[in-house]
Structure 1
Amino acid sequence: MKILAVALLLLAPAAGSAQDFYGTRPLGMGGAFRAIATGNDAIELNPAGMSLFRHYSIEAHYLGTPKWRAEDGPYEHVIHASVVDNQTQQFATGLAYTRIERGDSKQGNRVDLAFSFPLSDNLLLGLDVYYLNFESDPKDRYLDAVTVDVGMLLRTDFGLSLGVVGYALTNPADYQEHPLSMAAAVAYSPFRSLVIGFDWFINFQRPKDLTDLAGAKETAFGYHFGAEYLVLGQMTIRAGYWIDKARPGESEQYWSAGLGWVSETLAIDAGYRGSIHHGYDGTFGVAVRMFQ
C-alpha cells in the first residue's frame, strides 16, 4: 500500500521544439505534461508543479536522437541531472543541468534554478531562471543569455488540473530553439491509476525563413496528447501523440510510448518518440529517479 501511495503521488495531477529538453516521462506522453508537472520534469515544463507534494528527489536522464531532423542528420546526445527539494522550507527549489551535443551543429549547456510557491492549497506559482550557453554551426551562432519561465498550476479536488506557462520571457533572441512562447494545459485523473493530459503550445516567434532567423516572425502552434496508467501498483504504461506546427521549418507529427517501474524510493523510466512521416528524427530516453 505504501508503494502504491508513492506511485500515485508521482502520477496524479490532482488526486484529492521550441523546448530543448523533455524528460523521459513527458517524452513517452507526447509532451503532454504541463498540467501534470510531477517529478523534476516540472523544472523545465512548469516549475509550479514542484510544490505539488512534499518530497526530495534526484533524477538523471539520457536522451538520444540518432538522426536529428534529417536522414543524414547528426546524432544528438542529451545528458540531464536535476534535484528538487520541497522538504526543508515552505517553498520548493529545483536545480538542473543539461548538456546537449549535436554533432557540429549545436553544443552547449543549460543550467536551471527554479522555485515554486503555494499561493493556496490548490493554486501554485513557479519561476525558472536559466542560463543558456550554446554554439551552433555552420552559421556560427553563439548564445550566452539568461532568461525566465513563469508557470501557474491549479488543481481541483475532483481530479482536474489546469496549467499555464510562459517561456523565455526575457527573450534571449534564439528564435529557433528558445523563442518567446507559452503553453496552456489540462490534465484529468478519472480514477487513481490513470491520468490524461493535453497541452497547447504557442510559439510567438517562429521564423518565417530559416535562412534569416532575425527576420520576419509568425505565431505557430503545437498540440500534445498523452496518458499514463499505473498497473499493479508499480508498473507505468505511457502513450502520446504530438502535432508540432510550432517548430521552425516543416511541421511534424510524432507518436510516443513509455514504460516505468516505481518503488517507495526509486523509479526507472524508458520512453520513445517516433516520427509519423519518416524513419529519422526518433528520440529515445532512459531515466533513473530517486526520491523520499
Structure 2
Amino acid sequence: MSDDQMIPADPAELRKPAECRPERVRELAAELAAGRRLPELEPLFAALPHSATGPEAELRACVLGELSLRGVPWRQRPALVAYAERLREAGHPLARLPETRLDVEHRFGARARGAGPVRSAGRLRARFPEVPDSERGAAAGRAAREAPDAARSRAAAGAFTAGGWACAPEARFFTLAQPLAADDFGMSFLKELPLDCLAGEVGPGGLPACVTAADDALNELYSAAAVGGVNGHPLHGAYARLHAWQGLYALLDLPAETPFLEAVRYAAGCRWLRFMAFTRWFRHDTADVGLAVLDPSGTRVSVLAATDTDD
C-alpha cells in the first residue's frame, strides 16, 4: 500500500450524516492518530468546542485518547491542552482518562509472540501457574454469600457488551465471613459458587484456574472492546481504554473518583485468576474469557466470564 493510500480521510467528512455514526467517528480518530504526525493534527484543535457533544468534539476527544495510548507527547501542544481542558470541564468521559499511557497498560494493542488469546487448557497451563486443589478453598466457596449489584455487574461486563460479544457475560460478586488465603483461591473455590458459567457437566478440558496479574485482566477488558465481538463493532483504542478501566473499577468495587495510580496499587494487592471451563455455557468458538479476583482483605470476590460465537 502506498503512503497516499495510508492517509486517512479528511475529518470534514463528518459533515455528512452517514459519517456521524459513533463507530465511524471512532474509526476515523484511530486512523488520524495512526496516520498523521502531531503538527498535521494540531489545526484540528484550533477552535475550542462549545460543548462536549456532537461528532466534531467527539472526534477530537477520541484523537486525544488515541494519541495518549500511543505515547505521543501532545501535552507539549497548547492548542491540544486547551481542548482537553474544555472537554474535562464539560464532563466528557474520555477526558478523565490518564493523559499518558500507564505501565499497567503496556499490553494494550500488543501483538507480541506468545501473548495472543488463550484458547486451550494446555496453553493456559503453559503460560500461567495453575492453583492446586484446596479443601479450604472448597469449604470457603460453599460458605460464600452472593452480593448482587446490577449496576456494578453492567460496568464489569461493559467491555464485552459494548464490543458486541454475542452472548451475555456473567459478572457476579461474593463476600466471605472469614478471610480466604490467596493459595486457597482457585477452582476448588470457584466451582462451589452458584455460577452459570461453571454449572453442569464438565468436558474433557476440565476446569483449570491459574494465577495471573492485574495487567493481564485489564488487557483482556481492553481487547474485548477494542477488537469487538466476531459480529460486533470494534470500539478502537480510546473507548476500549475507558471500558477497560470502568470494568476494572467495578471488579474491584472502587469509587469512580479513585485516582488511577491508587487503583493500580490496590489491584496489585489482589489475587487474580484466569480460568477456563469446558461447560455448555462457554461456546469454545471465537473467544472465551474467565477472570476472578480476591481483594486484599481476602473477604470479597468478583467473577467475570464472557464467551463469543458467530453462530
Q: TM-score range by the shorter chain?
A: under 0.3
Q: TM-score, normalised by structure 2?
A: 0.24
**Could you say which structure has the higher helix fraction?**
2
Q: TM-score, normalised by structure 1?
A: 0.25
**Could you say which structure has the higher strand fraction?**
1
Larger Rg over CA atoms: 2
The higher relative CO (CA closer than 8 Å, separation ≥ 6) is in 1
